[in-house]
Amino acid sequence: MPNKALEEKLILIVLDGCRYDTAIEQMGVMNHFVEHQQATLIKVIAEMPSNSRPLYEVLGTGVPSYRNGILTNGHVRRSQEISLFDLVKQAGGKTGAAAYYWQSELFNEAPYDITRHRIQHDENKAIQHGIFYSEDGYPDSHVFADANYLIQTYTPNFMLIHSMNIDDIGHKFTADSREYAAAVNHVDTILGMCLPEWLQLGYQILVTADHGMDNKGLHGGSLAAHREVPLFIFSTKFPENSGIRQMNQLEVAPLICNLLGIEASDKMQIGNTRGQQS
């Protein structure tokens, strides 16, 4: 008997390399929504190692690196865990992604081949509708345009949008640079153009980052600059005045399940929220 179609819809936006304090300082659109109680802001403490591929896996599965086996950026293989994409499909929903190619390698097929995997439409895959890019300088504006096409055309219940320009600029110029601040400021403008329309379409939206960036242009370690990232939540299903000011990154995946109204996987880390009153 086929699954009943999933009704809820959610977009997860991952701004690669965006640290918490810079988001507070430079994201005027996002913080406007928070100030007017249209969104909630929570500080997320990223897992270690605070590198990209391990944290894509963490965000996608809610399973820590020592258990999922993705410990470095060099672990090029498909995830062996149950992902959010899998869970949405099991619940009768559709999935999509406009994202860096490592997401395709983790959740669809590895290794990535640009001639075969740049654009993917396959109902049997975890990410059923995907547009992937393989250059860190691929403009964020293009990533969001790719995402908008997939959203408007396929109406996925769970959509991943993953941009790389903040991380790319941070490595080149460090987090203590005008260029890094400008990259964060620029994506805030893009979000201001896209989010109102997607909210009108009935999407819940989460905006976060995998990791931050330090003043040497590095991440991967234990510094607050590496691990403290924002989480902006646009959802009427998330309680107002929850009192939660900080949470662990492992809790993002089960939170998404809760907002979508689907069951979390057995391995997802639930119930460790470090709630702090303001």
Instruction: State whether residue 84 is helix, strand or coil.
Output: helix
Mean pLDDT across 184-204: 98
> Which candidate, 70, 2, 64, 73, places its Cα nearest to that of 253?
64
Percentage, residues of the chain above pLDDT 70: 95
- Of the listed ranges 9-18, 125-134, 199-208, 268-277, the one predicted with least confidence: 268-277
User: What band does 3 get if pLDDT is binned at 50, 70 and 90?
Assistant: low
Chain-wide mean pLDDT for the chain?
95
HSE-CB for 184 with a 13 A CA cutoff: 29
pLDDT at 211: 98
∠ CA 53-55-60, nearest 5°, is: 100
- Which residues does residue 205 pair with via DSSP β-bridges, in sequence order? 11, 234
Query: Which CATH number is associated with domain 10-260?
Result: 3.40.720.10
For 13-58, the pLDDT digits (tens) are 999 999 999 999 999 999 999 999 999 999 999 999 999 999 999 9
Asked if pLDDT for residue 234 goes beyond 70, the answer is: yes
Q: Does residue 266 contact residue 248 with C-beta atoms inside 8 Å?
A: no
Cα 217 to chain centroid distance, Å, stands at 21
Contacts for 195 with CB less than 8 Å, ≥ 6 apart: 29, 205, 234
pLDDT at 25: 98
pLDDT of residue 153: 98
- Sign, CA dihedral 82-85-87-92, equals negative
Question: In the chain, where are the structural domains located?
Answer: 10-260
Nearest alpha carbon to residue 207 among 93, 39, 8, 6: 39
Q: What is the pLDDT of residues 71-102, one digit of tens each?
A: 999 999 999 999 999 999 999 999 999 999 99
Q: What's the mean pLDDT in 241-256?
A: 94
Q: E strand or H helix at 100, and its extent?
A: strand 95-100
The pLDDT confidence band at residue 277, using thresholds 50, 70 and 90, is: very low
Sheet of 228-234: strand order equals 119-121, 129-133, 95-100, 158-163, 10-15, 204-208, 228-234, 40-45, 246-248
Instruction: State the pLDDT confidence band at 276, using cuts at 50, 70 and 90.
Output: very low
pLDDT number for residue 240: 78
Quick check: 1 pLDDT over 70? no
Residue 274 has pLDDT above 50, yes or no: no
